[in-house]
Amino acid sequence: GDSVTQMEGPVTLSEEAFLTINCTYTATGYPSLFWYVQYPGEGLQLLLKATKADDKGSNKGFEATYRKETTSFHLEKGSVQVSDSAVYFCALSDRFGTGGFKTIFGAGTRLFVKA
């Protein structure tokens, strides 16, 4: 079945450091891929998405490229800020059955950014 695996956290970085959070997936079809962010005490917010191979999603300085050959969707940011401290979830959405869609979330990676 479909699955999403993301690197375990927590990840601790200093401000202005480069961020990579790895995400790999398995899917039977051609899924859409997503990154969500959850700030303390809040719900998940969609950060970026990509709907087909080689698409790059980007938002707020974050980016991720849909790599079908490596089944990956790694999240990157060139220079993190303290305000980026949050939990990041990788997810895929894929068809199942006759016309339905299901979404699979990774376990989440907590990021701490120190000033």
Would you tell me which residues interact with other proteins (CB under 8 A)? 32, 34, 36, 41-46, 49, 51, 89, 91, 93, 100-101, 103, 105-108
The helix (run of H) or strand (run of E) holding residue 17 is none
CA-based nearest residue to 47, from 107, 110, 90: 90
Nearer to other proteins, 14 or 53 (CB): 53
Cβ 91 to other proteins, closest distance in Å? Answer: 8
Nearer to other proteins, 67 or 110 (CB): 110
CA-based nearest residue to 6, from 111, 113, 109: 109
Other beta carbons less than 10 A from residue 51's beta carbon: 13
Cβ 32 to other proteins, closest distance in Å? Answer: 5
